[in-house]
Structure 1
């Protein structure tokens, strides 16, 4: 396995050890920031706008932009880049602020016309419970 390296300014820099994981701590990626400048839910969808970011540069920003060719959720991006959701949200907020990403909050179920809000389908829950009991 070993250490994977990235090239920067003509020299190789180790950034991931297959056994130990990231060699750079997650909160270093966000410069210690834990609060994004915009609100993101884990289901918020983001997509690249095609605009090249001037201020948001680096391997983590490049990796995030590479994942956003089509609509993708915050949770999915966090899983792909293997960073905590809060760090991912900071990176995404930076990219939205510089115009490289567009974000859309999830539509609440009640706004979709799917029925009254906070109403649970009892029959569905009972069917799920029955299925779980059969497996255990």
Structure 2
């Protein structure tokens, strides 16, 4: 039987604990994988020694076509951000993804603009 087999409950969906997906690891092997970092596939083939799980492959598919923030990928895959960071660290070590750090704070919107947006949303 394959290591990648996921137990599935017809009503609940996959029944696998997050730490099992990350093979018990809680930290990424790379410090580059920030919550707001953007990730894109390099398009390189997986090395022969790389043991990629189903979740690794799903993650690669999610970043194949475009740059995407780590938090967006986690949301799409339905995995905790910590697990996605660990899996991305694995892919980064194998050269399968490229990670760009988040924008500088100077390029981010100002606090006053964010407050205006929040107030506008509340007014809806």
Asked whether the two chains share a fold, i.e. TM above 0.5, the reply is yes
Say if 1:20 and 1:121 are closer, same or farther in 2 by CA, change over 3 A.
Answer: same
Q: Point out which structure has higher relative CO (alpha carbons under 8 A, 6+ apart).
A: 2
**1:82 matches 2:105:** no
Say if 1:18 and 1:74 are closer, same or farther in 2 by CA, change over 3 A.
Answer: farther
Question: Do 1:56 and 1:94's aligned partners in 2 also have CA atoms closer than 8 Å?
Answer: no
| Residues 67-113 of structure 1, C-alpha deviations (whole Å, 9 max, x = no match) | 11111111111112211110110000100011000000111131x3x
Number of matched residues?
Answer: 119
Matched residues in 2 for 1:76 and 1:64: separation? 11
Alignment of 1:96-135 (within 5 A): 96-110=92-106, 112=107, 120-121=111-112, 125=115, 128-129=118-119, 132=122, 134-135=123-124
- RMSD of aligned alpha carbons: 2.7
**Structure with the higher strand share, 1 or 2:** 1
**1:57 matches 2:48:** no
3-state SS of paired residue (1:28) = helix
Gaps of 5+ in 2: none
3-state SS of paired residue (2:84) = helix
**1:42 matches 2:35:** yes
Shift of 1:42: 1.8
Matched residues in 1 for 2:117 and 2:93: separation? 45
Gaps of 5+ in 1: 1-6
Question: Do 1:64 and 1:77's aligned partners in 2 also have CA atoms closer than 8 Å?
Answer: yes
Shift of 1:24: 2.0
- 1:31 — aligned with what? 23
Q: What TM-score comes out, normalization by structure 1 length?
A: 0.72
Q: What TM-score comes out, normalization by structure 2 length?
A: 0.78
Shift of 1:56: 3.8
Relative to structure 2, which stretch is displaced further, 66-75 or 52-61? 52-61
